Every structure is written in structure tokens, then in C-alpha cells.
Chain A
Amino acid sequence: MRFISEFRRSELAEGLISQIHRKSRTPARFMEFCGGHTVTIFRYGIRQVLPSTIEMVSGPGCPICVTANADLDKAIALSQIPDVIITTFGDMLKVPGSRSSLQQVKADGAQVHTVYSTMDALKMAEDNPDKSVVFLGIGFETTAPTIAASILQAEEKGMRNYYVLSLHKVCPPVIRALLDSGEVKLDGLICPGHVSAIIGSHPWEFIARDYGIPCVVSGFEPLDILQCVDMLVDQVENGESRVEIAYRRGVRPEGNQQALRLMEQVFEPSPAQWRGMGEVPDSGLKIRKKYQCFDAELAFDIEPGPTSEPVGCICGDILRGVKTPADCRLFGKACVPENPIGPCMVSSEGSCSAYYLYGGSFGG
């Protein structure tokens, strides 16, 4: 497929791998923020082909994984309200909340539907005028503009039975929180490619400037990751820290202005709860007052009950990059993809799922 197969060619990978081995002298720890990058790194065995000087750690960039149990409980409570249809991206279904999961309540008779796009959720609302259709707004800056667009489309059509539970999160504030915690020392950051397709590369500049950490925006094919690592190594060896884009076919420095405008029109910054990190200021997106008739949080009386965390699960520590799945005593025993206990095993982009499917060696 165009723009995919060319970026998987092994002979070009070999050149990059040799170059990285030749250049890398200084021990360096690089974090891939994005769960999509984690999958590429594991699927193509990239950790194993890098020199011993480079250590890779996975970050918190999986929207499903970082959704707090309290927010999941809200979604589950919403599904119990009569005449409410929940629409959601598929990965959310199996994530266990405090007492149940969306999959469980669906099996028990709640109206929970998996959709590919908010366009499907809008269609469902049009087809069911006597029901209230709630879309679970989960995702980063890549997804939030598509959900903003759905609210604007609902407004344009005069729909009054479409709602969004806005649990969106934005990435730069959480990276700042992670770095300020001092728990993880990083020498380079692989910045998320499709978040950057929307926000551009400028929002990462504070990381290079204030924390002295080299940043490179990467695409999702194996050559993209290797090129990104090569560029990070260059910065490390030259003692530099700046923001560069390796994924130039997909990311412009200024981002997608139209998407940013729609996001700004519909949402405003708010604090958000992150699993493992607690509340992070300005890391969430709340629906603005002008569009509050679409806000599920205001439209329904949601009673999620008390929140509890699964005993023994260390997803929070894994998301902060301070522990790996191999450190978890549930991993691969009580917690497996067929019966996940923590969200990092549920989501196809979660670290535990990637370790379980492709891990083999847990080194580096």
C-alpha cells in the first residue's frame, strides 16, 4: 500500500541500523510517548536491533489506558439510564471499571454499540429519534477534532438526542507533569505522529527548551521509528536539544489549522484525571457553554458510585514509565488479553498487550 510498504523495506532499515550503531556512543534513554509507536517497536523487534547504549521506555500515550476508573464508571453508569444508547470505539468495551465493564453491562442488556466513527454515532441518533445517543469521547488531539466536528454536525442538523461524554485528553501537559515528577530521566522523546498532525511540532518546544530533552516527531512504520532514533542519537551525541520532524509527509510544524479551530470552537481546557498520574491541570477538554446541550455530563444525572482500583495491578506505574509489564506479578498469569485485569492489557496499544503479544525478550 502506498506510503506504507515503502516505509517497511528491510534493506533501508539495515542502513539506518548500521548508522545508529556507528554513531551512538553515549548511553541514552528514549521514551516513545505513543501507544501506536510501542506497537511498531515491539512488532518489528526494534528494541533488539538497537545498540546497547540505547534504552527504550514506553510512555502514557494510550488514551484507553490512561482513562481513570472514575471516568469509566461514569460511562458504565450512563449505560444504565433508560433510553440511553452508548456508542464507543471498540477498545473501550473490555476495560474493567470499578465493578463492571461496558462489555459486561452490554451482555446484561444495556444498549452499548461499537462504532468506527462519530459519523456512525450521529447516524444512530438520527435513526433512533426517541432515544438518547451518547458517544464516549475518548482520545487525544488526533481524535478530539473529529468529535468536535460531530457536535457541529449535530448542531447543523438541529439534532437534540446526540450527546458526548467528553473524556478527551491533551498530551503536552501530561509530559510536563511526567518530567516534573522527576521519576523518569529521559535523554530523548519520540513525539506522537498523529497528535502532531493536528497540533504541529511547536507545542513540544518547551520540552527541548526547558528540560533540555531532544524531541523528534515520528511516523508509525518501522523506518519512521529508526529514522527518529537516528535523529535523536545525532542530537544526543552533539549535545543539542531541539524539536525535529522525521514524519514530514504527515506532519507540518503548524499542524492542521482547521482541526485546531474546530477543537477550540467546541472545547475549552479543563483539568483531567489520568490513570497513574492523578489530576493534571489543563490536560482535559470540556465542552464549551455554547454547546452544553450536547454535554452528557450536564444532560444526565450520572451516579457512578465509589471508585476502586484492581488489587495488584501496576498499570499506573507502567504508564509513567517507571515499571515494565515484567515487573507486574499479574502479567501473563492472572492478567492476559482474554481476561485482562488492567487497561494496558486490554488496549491493543497498551504496553502489557504489546509485551504479551510480541515481547519475547523483556530486555532493554
Chain B
Amino acid sequence: MCLAIPALIKYIEDKEAEVEIGGITRRISLWLTPEARAGDYVLVHTGYAINVLDQEQAEETLTLLRQIAELDEEEG
């Protein structure tokens, strides 16, 4: 029930935003993430953005996972 989906903010109007989730456009509330800006990815839960996704952290995690995979190939 705590499902939250990443969505891209297209534009912001007052405390609401139009977002794109996998090609579908939706209107969501920004009551919980007033810091969100157009172009940000947010985690959307029951129509509310509950956090702004940290794109740098996502890249860092993926880089780490790629390194682990490369190490495994070398050893494997």
C-alpha cells in the first residue's frame, strides 16, 4: 500500500503539478514537497508527491552496481 511511482514534473500551478508517469499525464498535489520544481522527478503516492528523487544518488548507486557486476565478470 506504500507504493510510490517516480514521475516527471512538467509544470507547476500553485500547490499542484502536472506530471508524466510512463507516458501518462496526471495531476498531483505538492503539499508535501513545496521544494519540487518543473523537471524534477518525484515519488508519487496516492496523488501526492512524497519526495523529490535525488538523481545524483541514483547515478551513484547504479555506478556502484556496475562496478560490482564488472568485478564479478573478471572473477567469474
Contacts and interface: CB of A to CB of B under 8 A. Distances in A.
Is chain B's interface secondary structure helix, strand, loop, or mixed overall? Answer: mixed
Interface string B1-44: 11111101000000000000110000001011111000001010
Nearest to B1: A63
Contacts of A62: 1
A136 to B, nearest CB: 12
B3 A248 contact: no
A14 B72 CA distance: 8
Interface of B: 1-6, 8, 21-22, 29, 31-35, 41, 43, 45-48, 50-51, 53-55, 57-58, 60-62, 65-66, 68-73, 75-76
A15 B45 contact: no
10 nearest A-B pairs in the assembled complex, by CB-CB distance: A117-B47, A15-B69, A249-B58, A248-B57, A3-B6, A142-B2, A15-B72, A149-B31, A194-B2, A15-B68
A258 B71 contact: no
Given A19-B72, A89-B1, A146-B32, A256 B50 contact: yes
A84 interface: no
Contacts of B70: 15
A6 B62 contact: yes
Contact of B32 (A1, A149, A195): A149
B1 A349 contact: yes
Nearest to B64: A227
A3 B41 contact: yes
A16 interface: yes
Nearest to B35: A258
